[in-house]
Amino acid sequence: MGEYDIFKLIGLIALFIIFLCVCLYANLPTKWTLGSKEMDYAFIRDCELLSLKEPEMKKLLPANVLWENQRVLVMVVRRPGCLLCRREAKTLSFLKHTLDKARVKLIAVVHEKFDVDQFRTYFAGEIYFDKERRFFGPKERWMPNWHSLLRVDTFYHLLRAKRAGVEGNSLGEARLLGGVYLLGKGDDGILFRHYERSYGDMVNIYKLMGVVMNLAMP
């Protein structure tokens, strides 16, 4: 083996080690790599939402009007066209009958309007547009596409979504992570919260419904 070949081999080994380190970093818990800040109820209480249901599409309303007289379960959607988001929407929609019996209203909040009409086919609740992205804050969590593509759980979630018969596309902004929040009646605040830690990181349905059913008990 010549001197050039030795340097070439060392370079390839170095690149492989760097790639492994990047993969390891990408698969660390995102609360370490992307940061996290608790959702502040006051931050979303006074924001304005736009209903995306006809004929109310030009009507802004204060967000707290939605939970003025009942509890509200909010799905904060990363991207309406994403099949992973649609899978979570489909799962939450299966619970709508139980949520209705517990007097919990199901809604979704989006930060863009791309493909909302198709998203409706998977989601059984009302949909609102949050222009200021309040429901995605107070510290927005952005996951670069390269980061998500190197995560093992991304492919696991994609496989499960495909098996569930969910379809999606690549339209829109995918990097801004969402979540699921259960808001109490009036100013009771946030009763349950789930922060999307990576693409397709769905809320734990059993924990969520445990909270809902406990609240529904007399």
Tens of pLDDT, residues 87-108: 999 999 999 999 999 999 999 9
User: Which one is catalytic: 21, 23, 47, 85?
Assistant: 85
The answer to whether residues 61 and 14 belong to one domain is no
Per residue in 21-44, pLDDT tens?
988 988 998 888 887 778 889 999
- The alpha-carbon radius of gyration of the chain (Å, integer) is 20
- Rounded Cα distance, 199 and 85, in Å: 8
pLDDT reported for residue 105: 97
Report in angstroms the alpha-carbon separations of 190 from 79, 118, 193.
23, 29, 7
The answer to whether residues 54 and 99 belong to one domain is yes
Q: Domain tally for the chain?
A: 2
CA proximity to 49, closest of 57, 39, 60: 60
What average pLDDT does the structure give for the chain?
A: 91
Higher pLDDT, 90 or 145: 90
The answer to whether residues 80 and 187 belong to one domain is yes
The answer to whether residues 13 and 104 belong to one domain is no
User: Tokens for 72?
Assistant: 């509200």
Per residue in 197-214, pLDDT tens?
999 999 999 999 999 999
The confidence band for 11, taking pLDDT boundaries of 50, 70 and 90, is: confident
The answer to whether residues 146 and 117 belong to one domain is yes
Residue 23 annotated as catalytic: no
CATH of the domain at 90: 3.40.30.10
**pTM score of the predicted model:** 0.91
The answer to whether residues 14 and 120 belong to one domain is no
The answer to whether residues 22 and 97 belong to one domain is no
On the question of pLDDT at 56 being above 70, the answer is no
The answer to whether residues 27 and 67 belong to one domain is no
The answer to whether residues 84 and 96 belong to one domain is yes
CA proximity to 94, closest of 164, 1, 160: 164
User: Which one is catalytic: 21, 23, 47, 82?
Assistant: 82
Q: In the chain, count of helices (H) and strands (E)?
A: 9, 7
CA proximity to 24, closest of 142, 150, 145: 150
Q: What is the mean pLDDT of residues 60-68?
A: 94
The answer to whether residues 188 and 202 belong to one domain is yes
The answer to whether residues 8 and 83 belong to one domain is no
Domain that holds residue 60: 35-216
The confidence band for 142, taking pLDDT boundaries of 50, 70 and 90, is: very high
Q: What is the DSSP string of 137-157?
A: -SS--B--HHHHHT-HHHHHH
Which spans in the chain are helix H? 3-26, 30-33, 41-45, 83-94, 96-101, 116-119, 145-149, 152-163, 205-216
* CB contact at 8 A, 102 and 191: no
User: Tokens for 202?
Assistant: 């769905």
The answer to whether residues 189 and 118 belong to one domain is yes
Residue 21 annotated as catalytic: no
